Chains A and B, each alone.
Chain A
Amino acid sequence: MAHFEKAKNLNEWLDQRLAINTLKRVLNTEYWIPKDINFLWAMGMVLAATFGMLVLSGIFLLMYYKPDTNLAFDSVNYTIMSEVGYGWFWRHIHGVGASIVFLIIYIHMFTGIYYGSYKKGRELIWLSGMGLFVAFSAEAFSGYMLPWGQMSYWAGMVITNLFSGGSLELNGLVEWIRGDYVPGDAFLTRFFMLHVLLLPLVIIGLIVLHFGTLRIPHVNNQEGAEIDFKEAADLWKAGKKKESKVIPFSPVFLSKDIFVMGVYFILFFYLVFYNFNFAMDPVNFDPADGLKTPAHIYPEWYFLWSYEILRPFGKDAGLIAFAIAQLALFFLPFIDRSPNVAPAHKRGLFQVWFWVLIIDMIALTAMGKLPPTDPTFAFIGLVSAWTFLALGPILFIITMFEKKIEKGA
């Protein structure tokens, strides 16, 4: 056994047994962050904080929610909203949080794309982040089922039907996933399990992995400069803070993170208290009815772009396009052939590509919300879907010919 001395205080007692001083150093005071980064790099901590809000509010909702098709709707819309003291507060935090978390995820993702933070050495940061995006999507979808309103039911119907494999007609698989011929009690309880246990565990695991992937390649910076972290850290530790290109994560960078989070939470709670309705679909205030489809069904705003990629094609082609749309971004580090880790505005054609991607996704989102009946909008949707699918090969080609840029780091 190791040698133990009598500890003078609690910190020392714990340090002898848990090495907390080493942990603190490795994870906080000597985890180096480049100075040259802007507020967009604070989105990671904003996301972690929002996830914390979702877990916390979810725990309170869990105490009154009933996962039963006869009781679920009223347990949410009557018991939690009207009877439970401050039940509305937790629900609105949960509803707004679930919507806003995707806005921040998209900002976080596109920041990574803009600054080339997915490139060589940082592939795992990107892949674990995309894993988190998929896990959050599944978490959002399973949560959307729980109030058992009309949109819950029909979203469950449509999304589980995707697993019939187009013309393969795998109805047995769909019935197995649902545990019934249609979304029913078995379906609700298993999605309840996914939402409150299995998927949160997966998300927490992936967050730990995502943080871990950052530790060795370090976060990127605004110029994409390669920093000798050891040299820069030594300068900082020697007291030459001005000359050093890095700062410690805690407390120096964290203070900036916390400032950004402060601004963010002002907006967040403004939405929770005064504008929560944007996160609540009116159709979901009708109880689920298996004999009546709503006149126009659409997903939440953050899934509209991929829904619109599915919609303009036939069943099989739509399914394939949808699968490509879901998976395409995973391959970004391998599609981008350019050696340049630099912001898009220094990379010529890549900058054009980046903004076309943003505009295309906004167009897909807007078209996805509209009913499928107008031929003009359906045509714009079709063109946007093809554009999205074409952007991958285009990126491969333009980055292959991208010249190495000289950086004045």
Chain B
Amino acid sequence: MKENEKDRRDFMGMALGACAAVGGVGALYAAKRTWDPLPSVKAAGFTTIDLSGAQENVLNIEKWRGKPIFVLKKSADMKADERDIVIGSDRFHVSIGLCTHLGCIPAYEKDQHKFKCACHGGEFDASGHQIFGPPPSPLVIPPFKIDGTKLVLGESGPEYQKMLDAGITA
């Protein structure tokens, strides 16, 4: 009788444990999903930028997914780079304007043709390569599609795909 009772209590304990485990995993999954970005946040992820009015060596800052986007039309004396976006005879540097170290916005130094981050002293050249300080990688190029003289951010065109495949941007 005693033995028998122990077995039954063990069974109840195990059943409780199994139910609690299933419920716990379910609740954790629900909590994880609750903290995911909302669909409305994800859907608002496209921005179109018209590049036809850009001036040489003047940094324009646009906004995409809440992040600043650097658009810099390169002048003739600025070195060409595989990261450049070429439209007709113009070359553009386009990148997410957040330092790859911890995400501050670097300022553009017009005369020196470089970006300097005030937070931790990181520097990038006009093509977005890190040249000084703690940044571990070049400025990130956002997914883009060329549409005439316009750039659609958030959509991957063939030019972007080529950069991605070549490992030029993350």
Contacts and interface: CB of A to CB of B under 8 A. Distances in A.
Interface in B63-110: 63, 65-68, 100-105, 107
Nearest to A316: B136
B124 to A, nearest CB: 14
B135 interface: yes
Contacts of B45: 181
Which of A162, A181, A292 has the largest number of chain B CB atoms within 10 A? A181
A175 B37 contact: yes
Contacts of A181: 37, 41, 45, 65-67
Contacts of A290: 63, 66-68
B170 interface: yes
Interface in B41-73: 41, 45, 61, 63, 65-68
Interface in A201-259: none
A371 interface: yes
Provide the main secondary structure of the chain B interface. Answer: loop
B123 to A, nearest CB: 11
A123 to B, nearest CB: 31
A175 B66 CA distance: 12
A325 interface: no
B119 A179 contact: no
A179 B66 contact: no
B28 interface: no
Interface residues of B, number: 29
A292 B35 contact: no
A63 interface: no
Interface string B107-124: 100000000001111000
A352 to B, nearest CB: 32
Size category of the binding interface on chain A: 35 or more
Contact of A296 (B61, B118, B135, B137): B118
A169 B68 CA distance: 19
Interface string A149-163: 000001001100110
Nearest to B96: A181
Contacts of B67: 181-182, 290
B136 A297 contact: no
A180 B64 CA distance: 12
Contacts of A315: 100-102, 134-136
B95 to A, nearest CB: 14
Contacts of B36: 176, 179
B103 to A, nearest CB: 4
A297 B63 contact: no
Interface of A: 154, 157-158, 161-162, 166-167, 169, 175-182, 184, 186, 190, 290-297, 311, 313-316, 318, 371-373, 378
A-B residue pairs, 7 tightest by C-beta: A182-B66, A293-B105, A372-B121, A181-B65, A161-B103, A315-B136, A158-B102
Given A157-B104, A291-B61, A371-B118, 17 more contacts: A158-B102, A158-B103, A158-B104, A158-B119, A169-B170, A175-B37, A178-B37, A179-B37, A180-B37, A180-B66, A181-B65, A184-B66, A311-B120, A314-B136, A372-B118, A372-B120, A372-B121
